[in-house]
Amino acid sequence: MKIKVAIIDSIGSHGSSHHYYLFAQAKGLIENKVDVTIFSNKKTYLSSLGKFKVENTFGDIFKTKAKLANAIYFVNGILKSFFKAKFSSHNFFHLHLFDFNILNFFACFFTIFFNVRLILTIHDINPFSKKTNLFLKRWILLFADKVIVHNEFSKKELIKDEINLKKISVVPHGNYLDFIKPKTNKIVAKKKFGLQNKKVILFFGMIKEEKGLDILIKSFYEVNQNNKDVVLLIAGKTYKSDIKKYTKIIDQLDLENSCVIHNKFIPEDALCDYYGCADVIVLPYKIIFQSGVLMMSSSFNVPVIVSDLEPFLDIIENQINGLVFKVNDVKSLAEKLIFSVNSTEKMNSYAKNNFEKIKNQYDWTKIGKLNKDVYLYFK
């Protein structure tokens, strides 16, 4: 059986670096002799630059914020993708899920009529911003022939839903080395942001309640008491959260002159500047299943501090390739921040170790082999 995979994903380049994941996954599969086509939106199609087969089946799905219109675009895009993929003899439909909602339910349900294998990569086992609809979740998992998660923690969480163990495969999240430009020279990058002669602690990515920015700000206060040359740079768009929650904490702690907030979507061409100016990147998350920001930071060879959540501990070893603090613990994080500010040489050595680790262990060609093995299960 020739393996032809349709990676079907409406999100693509919209609002995050998820398209890097799609292209990297496709690249790894192609290098393992798998025929791959990505079915996504118009923006993702334009950013592919002809390196991969990309079909613009979801059009301008995000051009409006109207929920009904988006739903119509989504269903139309799913059906268009399915018909095109089936017509061109794809025998695996591979979908990426971040939520168990009614639209994803219908997407999985429709595969019944196309006589193909349905593979799901589930990024967030439970959505953070709302309660999981267990009815929809169980049906979606039932429709799937195979479910891919990124680590053992996610697998254990999924098992709680009484899913057949044979359905679950663990395939790690890979690095971004093939899809990023070299980071901007630190002096140049800091000058762009007006942060010359400052140590920069960076919080990067979509701002959500579960990402613990409040913990970071409170911990930064301890750093600021003894070192006014350190700046906390917060870069990212709020998601179902109000930036005022965080500016209020900043004001209460009198940190206005030491915090810089870029509350906006950070475009792809600006990544090199943000990661270039960072002396350390902090991921103070309260819960996580996997982190693209960690992989991006590692790929840019920037020192990282992470909370002691199991998915992070799969990658980061304290004082080996990063620093680890106790989740939700302001004092613990403050200690790590102070260490990072005063130990530049050690932090850079941790970053180098981390870069080598993700380069060798999280290579997409190796991951492509693991993805291919999921398909080969049905041969």
Regarding predicted confidence, which is higher, 241 or 266?
Answer: 266
Measured distance CA(132)–CA(345) in Å, rounded: 44
111 and 49 in a common domain? yes
Work out how many domains the chain is built from and give that number.
2
Best CA proximity match to 83, nearest among 111, 104, 61, 102: 111
Q: Using 50, 70 and 90 to split pLDDT, how confident is the model at 42? A: confident
228 and 275 in a common domain? yes
Domain residues for the domain of 368 are 4-174+363-376
Measured distance CA(94)–CA(119) in Å, rounded: 5
Q: Using 50, 70 and 90 to split pLDDT, how confident is the model at 269? A: confident
Percent of the chain with pLDDT over 70: 97
262 and 129 in a common domain? no
Residue position matching structure tokens 């990058």: 189
pLDDT at 317: 97
Phi, psi for residue 141 in degrees, rounded to 5: -65, -30
367 and 269 in a common domain? no
Which segments of the chain are extended strands (E)? 4-8, 35-40, 54-56, 92-97, 117-122, 146-149, 168-170, 199-204, 230-235, 259-262, 280-283, 304-307, 323-325
Q: Which CA distances in Å does 186 have to 154, 193, 200?
A: 36, 11, 10
Digit-coded pLDDT (tens) for 276-335: 999 999 999 999 988 889 999 999 999 999 999 999 999 999 999 999 999 999 999 999
What is the DSSP secondary-structure string of 141-155? HHH-SEEEESSHHHH
Is residue 125 in a domain?
yes
247 and 104 in a common domain? no
Regarding predicted confidence, which is higher, 312 or 180?
Answer: 312
128 has pLDDT over 70: no
1 has pLDDT over 70: no
Helices 330-342/213-226 angle, 10° precision: 50
pLDDT at 46: 63
Is residue 180 in a domain?
no
Measured distance CA(100)–CA(8) in Å, rounded: 16
pLDDT at 117: 96
Is residue 152 in a domain?
yes
pLDDT at 47: 67
pLDDT at 130: 62
CB 120 within 8 A of CB 146: yes
80 and 221 in a common domain? no
Q: Using 50, 70 and 90 to split pLDDT, how confident is the model at 162? A: confident
Q: What is the mean pLDDT of the chain?
A: 92
102 has pLDDT over 70: yes
pLDDT at 180: 86
128 and 18 in a common domain? yes
194 and 94 in a common domain? no
What is the rounded (10 degree) CA torsion for 290, 296, 297, 300? 160
284 and 265 in a common domain? yes
Best CA proximity match to 230, nearest among 345, 334, 353, 355: 334
pLDDT at 335: 97
The number of residues in the chain equals 379
198 and 298 in a common domain? yes
176 has pLDDT over 70: yes
27 and 46 in a common domain? yes
Residue 300: which CATH number?
3.40.50.2000
Is residue 113 in a domain?
yes
114 and 83 in a common domain? yes
Q: Which CA distances in Å does 119 have to 82, 93, 157?
A: 13, 6, 18
